[in-house]
Amino acid sequence: MFETSVFLTILVGLFSLINPLGGLPVFISLTSDMSEDNKLKTLKKTCLYIFIICVVSYFIGVYLLNFFGITIPALRVAGGLVIFRSGWQLLNVTHKKEISAGKLQEESEKKDDISFSPLAMPLLAGPGSMSFLITLYASRPDDWHKAIGQDVLAIAAIIIVSFSIYFIFKFAPRLMKYAGQAGLTSLSKIMGFLVIGIGVQMIISSIAQVVKNIFIELQQVA
């Protein structure tokens, strides 16, 4: 039960935060002048970069933040706020608009390779998914068997999401034809609702842990 719930939490949360459906129109726009071979080559590299970014964020991110003196509760609150903002943007259909209409698109036109930037980051693997993975690692169980189990499940979820991005983008024209912009917008709003729930839960859990620690310290003093 623990493994199933953890895996589904990671998989659904990560997929919702990366939201490849929301980035689909941007991908089509940025690769419209490419040949099919170049599109597939760019897409494969993009998925590889997403996998690397997610794995590095999960295993190393918390240590980098600790180096700068950022506590775990503060990290959870900050990550929850970032994720909440991403979910709110999804609900209001403003997620990724700054990329599709902003300077990043103009910059991409001057690049020979857009697989890492802006496709992998920040279009897909942005602050929301990175915060989610860092917070997830920081919440690993104390039991090392369960901790390793969570690590394996996290890597498996990242692999599945990376492959799903590949197939979604590979068949992007068909998806746009059958689902349409309205269908993709509706799915993005559903994901936005899930993302908001993840962000709120992270903030509540962090605040509850801080209150619990304060209560324990007061009992020890008394």
Give the pLDDT of residue 101. Answer: 46
Give me 204's structure tokens. Answer: 């509540």
Among 162, 164, 185, which residue's Cα sits nearest to residue 25?
185
Record the pTM: 0.82
Query: One-letter amino acid identity for 98?
Result: E
Give me 21's structure tokens. Answer: 């459906």
Q: To 10 degrees, what angle do helices 127-138 and 72-91 make?
A: 140
Give the pLDDT of residue 1. Answer: 47
User: Into how many domains does the chain fold?
Assistant: 1
Give the pLDDT of residue 105. Answer: 58
Contact 64, 134 (CB under 8 A): no
Q: 52 is in which domain, residue-wise?
A: 2-221
Written as tens digits, the pLDDT of the chain (222 aa) is: 457 777 888 898 899 889 888 788 788 888 878 888 999 999 999 999 999 999 999 999 888 888 888 777 777 888 888 888 878 877 776 555 555 545 555 655 666 678 898 888 878 998 889 988 998 898 888 888 888 999 999 999 999 999 999 999 998 777 777 766 677 777 778 888 888 888 888 888 888 887 887 888 778 776
Give the pLDDT of residue 48. Answer: 96
Report the length, in residues, of the chain.
222
SS percent in the chain: helix, strand, coil, step 5? 85, 0, 15
Q: To which H or E segment does residue 80 belong?
A: helix 72-91
Contact 195, 128 (CB under 8 A): yes
Give the pLDDT of residue 96. Answer: 54
CA distances from 158 to 7, 22, 147, 185 (A): 10, 18, 17, 24
Give the pLDDT of residue 219. Answer: 81
Give the pLDDT of residue 193. Answer: 84
Q: To 10 degrees, what angle do helices 172-221 and 127-138 make?
A: 40
